[in-house]
Amino acid sequence: MLFFKSKNISNYTDNELIAEYKKKGDNAVVGELYTRYSHLVYGVCLKYLKDEDESKDAVLEIFEQLITDLLKHDIVNFKSWLHSVTRNHCLMQLRKEQTQQKRVNEYQYAVEQDGTTEQPFQIHEKQVQETQLTDLEKALLELKEEQRVCIELFFLKEKCYEEVAEITGYTMNQVKSYIQNGKRNLSLKLIDN
């Protein structure tokens, strides 16, 4: 690029480099910024992550992200902006690791309690389903006889309106009414539980 051929790239200020990068998109700019600031970014990462390898990986991730971030943001003071970006990156990584650790702990706790290898959310989901089925059975028994019979035939035994009418001896309109009212009453009873 002519910009860099006329003068040594290391002589430009951060703002001049960023302005040129926004115009031309030359990755040599990011390379120069990496040369200038990678050791500072590494220091911040090490402070937060407390691990050399994770910190080195974070430095690379942050500078890779700069390729797009420099185009998106209007940066007045690059050094302080980069410090904020680095800190936020590290905090997000720590939060992600805490979430993963929490899931591992929940899994280990579930295995210790149940002796199973099912995920905790699956165990919880089964308990919720069992509770819902129990509540539904209770609510069905509390319905009026006509409504309960029509609901059971229609939904549980998968009979059509005509078949329900034929089995029960109710008219088609009665069957539809019992099913509709039964569904509404079931909903109300389940909400009350």
- As a whole number of angstroms, the distance between CA 77 and CA 19 comes to 13
Q: How many helices (H) and strands (E) does the chain have?
A: 9, 0
- As a whole number of angstroms, the distance between CA 52 and CA 44 comes to 11
Cα distances from 135 to residues 46, 192, 193, in angstroms, run 54, 10, 7
Per-residue pLDDT at 2: 45
- Asked if the model's pLDDT at residue 1 lies above 90, the reply is no
Kindly report whether the global pTM for this prediction surpasses the value 0.85: no
Q: Write the DSSP assignment of 155-179 as a string of letters.
A: IIS---HHHHHHHH---HHHHHHHH
- Asked if the model's pLDDT at residue 192 lies above 60, the reply is yes
Instruction: Check residues 121 and 173 and name the one with the higher pLDDT.
Output: 173
- As a whole number of angstroms, the distance between CA 88 and CA 64 comes to 15
Find all residues with CB under 8 Å of 115, minimum gap 6, and list them: none
Q: With beta carbons less than 8 A apart as the criterion, state whether 45 and 55 touch.
A: yes
> Which token pair is 87?
């800190």
- As a whole number of angstroms, the distance between CA 152 and CA 178 comes to 11
- Domains of the chain as residue ranges with CATH: 2-111 (1.10.1740.10), 118-192 (1.10.10.10)
Angle between helices 120-142 and 78-114 (to 10 degrees): 60
pLDDT tens profile 111-139: 666 655 555 556 667 777 788 788 888 88
- As a whole number of angstroms, the distance between CA 62 and CA 38 comes to 10
pLDDT tens profile 64-116: 999 898 988 888 899 999 999 999 999 998 888 887 777 777 777 766 666 55
In angstroms, how far is CA 38 from the centroid of its own chain? 31
Q: How many residues does the chain have?
A: 193
Which phi-psi region, left, alpha or beta, contains residue 54 (left: φ > 0; alpha: ψ -120 to 50)? alpha
For range 184-191, the mean pLDDT: 83
